Amino acid sequence: MSAVLQLDTVTRIHGAGATEVMALREVSFSAYAGELVAVMGPSGSGKSTLLTLAGGLDGPTSGAVRVEGTDLAALGQKGRAAMRRTSIGYVFQDFNLIPALTAVENVALPRELDGAGSRTARKVALAALEEVGIGELAGRFPDEMSGGQQQRVAIARAIVGERRLILADEPTGALDSETGEDILRLIRARCDAGAAGVLVTHEARHAAWADRVVFLRDGVIVDESGRDRPDALLEQAR
Amino acid sequence: MTARTLSVGLDARVALAYPVWPAVYIPGIHGHGGVDHGVDDGEESPVSVRNALLALLEQGPRYGYQLRAEFEDRTGGTWPLNVGQVYTTLSRLERDGLVEGQGADADGHVVYVVTASGREEVAAWFGSPVPRTRPPREELAIKLALAVSVPGVEVGAVIQQQRSATMAALQDYTRLKRRAAGDDPHELAWGLVLDSLVFNAEAEIRWLDHCEARLRRAAHDRGASSVDRAGQAGQAEQVDPQEATR
């Protein structure tokens, strides 16, 4: 079983000379299908950098980022954009929904941009909204929904079209604790159904939903808690 | 769904809850000098057990085994009682006039009923806050206090080791939570006990994060003002004991 996401000795340096900041330092990290991995660390530890690299929104200074075996750097700008539409789902703290589009249109957008017919895109978008429990809100605009509902739309957008890598950056940051827990249940369910998930958070209670918790300090993984995946162990043994 | 949740039942809860105990200190479980000491020695029952049994008896006459089963059902076996302890508690309650033994039933079980003053005691318990007589998690606080003030201890490693262990416990509690999502009163009671364990563990991790941040800042300030910084910028381990205790 291969990793859905693999960071191979990744270093990311921002700036140069005196203002040079090493955000990540030779980090190796994998997320496997069916697994949710949480990344914890204080601000400035490199956790957001890790996520933007994993999502192909930024490139490493050295090392490689592979999604389903494909090196993102080798894909080029266009290829990475296509990869983001089809394989990678991103969930942000502030939802990032387009205000002028309804819930179902927000979710359908990545599929349409990818060339799916609008009827097909709408159909899969509705299915994704059903999956996150808000099928009946499909026609609402973001400002007609609560924060928790908007985040559900964002999750539907992240999972639409069977994407296998879910990246979540403090997805519960703007929500109360009960609603935040519902959101984690959804991400967890998607991983249990076969996706790989990476959750960046500074809240231990939320990180605890993950199979593994990785601790980042000054751009380095200093520790990890949780159970090793059996297939990860097998790979090491090979 | 309900059937599956119920069939997991107590045994699974206990089996899952037990292995994580050493990973995290919870007042009342470990008997590390918390308020609820004496759980295992049968000497003196903690106030929480005594009052919980009284509250159960207020629902109707019961005998020892029933009380134990109901207590553990509501708390998910988080604080297991032995039957001897239940009977010791009952005889003390009887001595104090809060319950009365009704003699043995057909199977030889001594059935107890609550008295009027027992009911008042239960009402007073629910009507007053639990006293915060001692700060919780004292062993860890003491360990860190010593770690920062005794030379040669890598405080950063002490913190990370604890954070990792507590996070593992928190992951176990969360796994249990994922199963216990029922809405009937007993599932809810157990769910709330679990939440209490979750919030306790989270508080400990937040406190550890806070300790680390303060130590790093102290180390950084010291490094910035020191001529010989010895390449230790940002390392929490090398905090000057005097500096850290100020």
Q: Where are the domains of chain A?
A: 1-87+165-238, 91-163
Does residue A43 carry a pLDDT above 80?
Answer: yes
A39 touches A199 (CB < 8 A): yes
- Cα of A168 to nearest chain B Cα, Å: 18
- Cα of B210 to nearest chain A Cα, Å: 10
- How far is it, in rounded angstroms, from Cα A161 to Cα A163? 6
User: If DSSP codes are grouped into helix, strand and coil, which group holds residue A183?
Assistant: helix
| Amino acid B54: pLDDT | 93
Per-residue pLDDT of chain B (246 residues), as tens digits, is 333 333 333 344 444 443 333 333 343 343 333 333 333 334 456 888 899 999 999 999 999 999 999 998 888 888 888 888 999 999 999 999 999 998 888 888 899 999 999 999 999 988 888 877 666 557 888 888 888 888 888 888 899 999 999 999 999 999 888 876 667 777 888 888 888 999 999 999 999 999 999 998 888 888 776 544 344 444 444 444 444 333
**Which CATH code is given to the segment(s) A1-87+165-238?**
3.40.50.300
- How far is it, in rounded angstroms, from Cα A87 to Cα A81? 10
A98 CB within 8 Å of a chain B CB = no
Mean pLDDT of chain B: 74
A222 CB within 8 Å of a chain B CB = yes
Chain B partners of A42 at a C-beta cutoff of 8 Å? 209, 212-213
- How far is it, in rounded angstroms, from Cα A214 to Cα B164? 9
Q: What mean pLDDT do residues A147-176 have? A: 88
Kindly determine whether residue B160 and residue A215, on different chains, have CB atoms separated by under 8 Å: yes
Q: Is B240 exposed, middle or buried (0-12, 13-18, 19+ CB in 10 A)?
A: middle
B100 beta partners: B113
Nearest CA in chain B to A182: B178
Neighbour count for residue B106 (Cβ, 10 Å): 5
Does residue A234 carry a pLDDT above 70?
Answer: no
| Amino acid A92: pLDDT | 85
Distance from first CA to last CA of chain A, Å, rounded?
A: 12
- How far is it, in rounded angstroms, from Cα A15 to Cα B49? 61
Chain A partners of B165 at a C-beta cutoff of 8 Å? 225
Could you give the ipTM of this predicted complex?
0.80
